[in-house]
Amino acid sequence: MTDQITYQVTVADLAALMKRTAGVNVDPDDLGRQADDGFDTFGLDSLGLLGIVAELEKRHGRSLPEQAERCKTPAEFLALVNTSLQTGA
């Protein structure tokens, strides 16, 4: 019997990663409400997003799709990352 553990990156997780890896403070509630706004709205640039991708790859021991570092919005990023973590793709 194999137990499959599925981990979802939440808006709160993303807000914490933004602070820890890029020094960008954002309220998780605001991030959730504005998830379709660009990362630049929150002060996160492409280098900051690369740091978040690297941290998630390290945390989960697998590579994320190359498109993860090109996502423009938190909603797009979370959808891509969570799909990747669920499918292992």
pLDDT at position 3: 41
pLDDT at 87: 84
What dihedral do alpha carbons 82, 40, 18, 86 form, nearest 10°?
0
**Mean pLDDT in the chain?**
91
Mean pLDDT for 69-80 is: 97
**Residue 89 pLDDT:** 60
pLDDT at 40: 95
Confirm whether pTM is higher than 0.75.
yes
| Mean pLDDT value of segment 62-83 | 96
**Alpha-carbon distance 81 to 24, whole Å?**
20
Q: What is the mean pLDDT of residues 28-57?
A: 96
Taken as a whole, the chain contains a residue count of 89
Domains of the chain, each with CATH number or no CATH: 11-87 (1.10.1200.10)
How confident is the model at residue 88, as a pLDDT? 72
**For residue 49, pLDDT beyond 80:** yes
Q: What is the distance between the alpha carbons of residues 7 and 54, in angstroms, rounded to a whole number?
A: 17
